[in-house]
Structure 1
């Protein structure tokens, strides 16, 4: 396989992340979205895409094909991995952007239908081959990986922060709370569901939730296994998230300025994944960012001898960009194996 050939990408799910993936890929020469699986009507999928991209006139609908800067993409009316004939489209990798099919068995359904490799936009539901966070552990990927996750927007932001700081300081433990926009699986009005708090209106309430990042953190950063607790506060905004991380440093001499300096230097090394900002921004200011982590220098505070609080911003477009980065990583790896 030559890296000169674009990655032939399949998408399952054309929700917000799926649309962001498609829009980002459409403006790159190294990735082509060949087919999209979603039960939505093509006219509505096209309408939703145009409603949120920067240049809606770039995209048109031709029967069951989306047409854009990246070419023609077939729309398939299904939302079941076992029903999507990926082999017909000769894809290199499938991104499951639904957020629904997280188990290894469900991922195998993609593989059984001709997907050489499947990448989840979410954390997995059980053990899979690899969780890959660009900028943190991309060197761990292997050719035999078939079921892969790119974590989640929160997981990527948290891993980048912890990985960066742990290269300079010893961190004993900590907690992370993501102040998160409400999600598509929450009810906008009170509606009985499987969870008491998530049965309440997402548009009217701050809703505490758990978060799985803490459980999977050790798979990406073994140094932090069992050391970081994670939780979520879903709040009544549609987009934009804030990561509030509180860390206990072994060395009492570590200052807020030290933390800010390390993060600033790291952002220069990883400009596509991380940034720093010294302006008094709010959540809407991060919309449209393709970064996984925008570190808020004004939010760094030290309390007592060992405790430092940090704030960072992110939105789902950054995670969509990292999903495409993971697809590129495996494409290059496969090319080296063939050469």
Structure 2
């Protein structure tokens, strides 16, 4: 056996041992003390060892600063402390404590107290209005991801169909089996007397209603909830405000471009809600979420004079399966057999979110015969000269933040195709192998992949989670001045 191979195998075994120990400690804290440990947004509860090893191998953990070894040291210290916050992100905690690999117990306790003071122990109630493609993906995540469940609790689903045992069986089957996203790794049971699905021990009530204003949510134990309308039926303030006629709903999010309401791309402009006296928001479209973060980054760094967006988009439910009448041109032709030229509102939507790009972008779309996984082609005229290396270094830096859900990611996989994008949580993934630029360095072409269902759903959930804790959050772990805290007092309390 070669020395190099021997070293690789020893390194793998050591890292595997660290991963096993980390997940063991994390599960003990969860089981015995109801403390959820995260790693840059990823739950360590019930985490597979292979997933954690892959996370380490991809460089998400800074190996120079100790990587898993520091995480393990922190966990060993946490187990010995009598009081802990309900949720601890070990990755962010590690990064905020030290870059030298040395952890002072005083600093650790200081950080934990700050987290405790800003921890929301009352999950926000969530109502899904509609249970289609996006609605079921939202329900899957809300019922299985511990990192979401500590902040949000799915209470009910509203549909137009009458609720009875056959209805519940069909809904249970649809959430358990998905032709695109695969089997749902969760326990799903039916409770007919209460018109509920029980998902991983969590009761989800199903409510039938034609009129949003006719629902008495208090009868279902719902109060001060966020409602996520994923039907597409209402897109303006007048229609969506029907959800707010009863005090049980405090905020409404619509998973479609809004007409006269704030359009939000989480990570870019979500904080504008502080400047708007409204509680109805749109999370725009999947395409808008995929490319807006990139456009903002490129415009800030190089300036965008003008550009064109062409979307190669998977077919959607509003197209016909076979040739038939349709209110929109070409969308009546068989979706699984044709490439269909159609319009997209992404160009105008982007100008609402990034006003500096108003009248600078044109856009069009082609629906293609695949069920999921889309591609946006950006052709941009830059104000400053750039090179492919300049562009890639900028994107790599933006993508290097080790979080579960990224607005920007980049791949240099030479064999990447659309099916490889399915299940990727990033809003947009730049295909680094396809980037091109003109000889004068002014015209840039980017290919941006995105899972138009799952990646978009993660953006919706990220905004909903931020909205659910926004009222309690007083700052961020990264920019807080911990020197203001009296360490000796905290040591006494610990």
Shared fold (TM-score, shorter chain, > 0.5): yes
Equivalent-residue separation in structure 2 for 1:249 and 1:80 (angstroms):
49
How is 1:125-164 mapped onto 2 (pairs within 5 angstroms)? 126-128=259-261, 130-142=262-274, 144-164=277-297
How is 1:51-200 mapped onto 2 (pairs within 5 angstroms)? 51-52=177-178, 54-63=183-192, 64-69=195-200, 71-78=202-209, 80-88=211-219, 89-114=222-247, 115-124=249-258, 126-128=259-261, 130-142=262-274, 144-200=277-333
CA deviation after TM superposition for structure 1 residue 70, in Å: 6.4
**Kept after mapping to 2: 8 A contact 1:278/1:297:** yes
Q: Does 2:469 match 1:332?
A: yes
Change (3 A) 1:100 1:299: farther
**Kept after mapping to 1: 8 A contact 2:152/2:468:** no
**Kept after mapping to 2: 8 A contact 1:136/1:160:** yes
**Kept after mapping to 2: 8 A contact 1:294/1:313:** yes
CA deviation after TM superposition for structure 1 residue 284, in Å: 0.5
CA deviation after TM superposition for structure 1 residue 218, in Å: 2.1
**Kept after mapping to 2: 8 A contact 1:205/1:236:** yes
Q: Which moved more, 1:232-241 or 1:322-331?
A: 322-331
Secondary structure of the residue aligned to 1:199 is coil
Equivalent-residue separation in structure 1 for 2:215 and 2:360 (angstroms):
40
Q: Does 2:413 match 1:287?
A: no
**Kept after mapping to 2: 8 A contact 1:242/1:314:** yes
CA deviation after TM superposition for structure 1 residue 127, in Å: 0.9
Secondary structure of the residue aligned to 1:205 is coil
* Aligned residue pairs, count: 334
Equivalent-residue separation in structure 1 for 2:382 and 2:186 (angstroms):
51
Task: With a CA cutoff of 8 Å and minimum separation of 6, indicate the structure with the bigger relative contact order.
Answer: 1
Change (3 A) 1:204 1:137: same
**Consecutive aligned runs of 4 or more in structure 1 exceeding 4 Å deviation:** none
Secondary structure of the residue aligned to 1:49 is helix
The TM-score with structure 2 as length reference comes to 0.64
The CA deviation string for residues 56-90 of structure 1, in whole angstroms up to 9 with x for no partner, is 45222222111113611101123543333345421
Equivalent-residue separation in structure 2 for 1:84 and 1:237 (angstroms):
38
**Kept after mapping to 2: 8 A contact 1:165/1:263:** no
Change (3 A) 1:256 1:331: same
Q: Is the strand fraction higher in 1 or 2?
A: 1
Secondary structure of the residue aligned to 2:400 is helix
User: Which position in structure 2 is the counterpart of 1:264?
Assistant: 396
**Kept after mapping to 2: 8 A contact 1:87/1:113:** no
In structure 2, runs of 5+ residues without a counterpart are 1-117, 162-166, 475-494
The CA deviation string for residues 193-250 of structure 1, in whole angstroms up to 9 with x for no partner, is 1122111111111111111122222221111111111221111100111111110011
